[in-house]
Amino acid sequence: MTDYSKEDPQTIKCLFNKIAPQYDRANALMSFNLHKKWNRTLSQMILSKGDPSKYLDLCSGTGEIAFTTLKDMKLPSEAFLLDFSDKMLDCAKNKELTINPNKHRIHYLHADAQAIPLPENSIDAITIAYGIRNVQNPARCIEEAHRVLKNGGIFAILELTRPTHSIMKMGHKIYTKFLLPIIGRYVASDAQAYNYLQRSIQSFIQPMVLENLLKHAGFKQTLVRPLSGGIATIISGHKS
pLDDT digits (tens, 9 = 90+) for 23-81: 888 777 777 788 999 999 999 999 998 999 999 999 999 999 999 999 999 889 999 99
Beta-bridge partners for 220: 238
234, pLDDT greater than 70: yes
- The pLDDT-based confidence of 196 (bands split at 50, 70, 90) is confident
Q: Give the chain's domains with CATH numbers.
A: 9-238 (3.40.50.150)
188, pLDDT greater than 70: no
Q: How far is CA 45 from CA 5, 58, 168, 210, 223, in A?
A: 31, 16, 26, 18, 11
This prediction has a pTM of: 0.91
- The pair phi, psi for residue 82, each rounded to 5°, is -115, 135
The arrangement of strands across the sheet holding 149-160 comes to 105-110, 78-83, 54-58, 123-129, 149-160, 232-238, 220-227
Quote the crossing angle between the two packed helices 180-188 and 23-30, to the nearest 10°. 150
Q: How many CA atoms lie within 13 A of 134 on its CB side?
A: 30
